[in-house]
Amino acid sequence: MDAKFEINDDIICKKYVAKPLQNNIWLIFSKSTHEAIVIDAPPDFSMIDKIVDKNNKLKINNIFITHNHYDHIDGIEYFYNKINKPKVWIGQEDKIKLSDFKIIDKHINTYNTYEPFKLNQTPIKFIETPGHTNGSTCMLVANHVFTGDTLFPGGPGRTITNNDFKNIIHSIKTKLLILPIKTIVHPGHGDDTQIQNSINEYNIFETKNPNIDNLSGNITWNKNYE
């Protein structure tokens, strides 16, 4: 285990770093009810065993997927069988790829962005952030936001087309950078950052790159792309 922190008086989060691409798996649970959720399911079966076995008092009833890339979803079936058929959730636009997982197809749900999920008393809000994939979704829990491959320290996640890049920028600007500045950002790979840092970095990017019509790929905020 990499890190453990309190989200509020009741909710604890544990971070695990998994294969194949240093994917972060987040285990979030209530101290009082032992209900738990997991964010993302990379295909690292020994890590999944470890998470479930070391936390065997917890009831992991829900798995939240940030987006449908293989390094975030290919452990779903293993998780599903290991922890006795949890509900699996993903953004509507990203559901299509999950039809590969025939066994659990009926158990795949799509996020309701109007109604937060409740972990004991604490709401988990789903924020649609298209760009990295069309169905990319972030999860806001108190002052912590879990951003998948949408927002990292230093820039957005990779995009394929310029349209995707414009979408990810729009998502980040209108859905994430408006969060309270002390909100902690937990991406799908690597280290955390804070909304205040992302705002500062984005402002540098915007002044350096007023025209973003040709950009896509791995963009970092502090480079001059013209």
Cα dist from 123 to 144, 161, 194, whole Å: 12, 34, 20
Q: Say if residues 35 and 29 touch (Cβ distance below 8 Å).
A: yes
The CA distance from 1 to 203, in Å, is 34
**CB of 94 or CB of 149, closer to Zn ion:** 149
In 3-state terms, what secondary structure has residue 166? helix
Q: Give the interface with Zn ion as residue ranges (CB under 5 A).
A: 69, 149
**CB of 55 or CB of 68, closer to Zn ion:** 68
Residue for token digits 């690597």? 190
What is the closest distance, in whole angstroms, from the C-beta atom of residue 165 to Zn ion in the complex?
14
What is the closest distance, in whole angstroms, from the C-beta atom of residue 50 to Zn ion in the complex?
23
**CB of 44 or CB of 149, closer to Zn ion:** 149
Q: Report how far Cα 126 is from the mean position of its chain's Cα atoms.
A: 10
**CB of 59 or CB of 166, closer to Zn ion:** 166
Q: Tell me how crowded residue 54 is: count the other CB atoms within 10 A of its CB.
A: 13
What is the closest distance, in whole angstroms, from the C-beta atom of residue 68 to Zn ion in the complex?
8
Angle ∠(163,164,167) on CA atoms, nearest 5: 90
What is the closest distance, in whole angstroms, from the C-beta atom of residue 130 to Zn ion in the complex?
13
What is the closest distance, in whole angstroms, from the C-beta atom of residue 44 to Zn ion in the complex?
15
**CB of 30 or CB of 133, closer to Zn ion:** 133
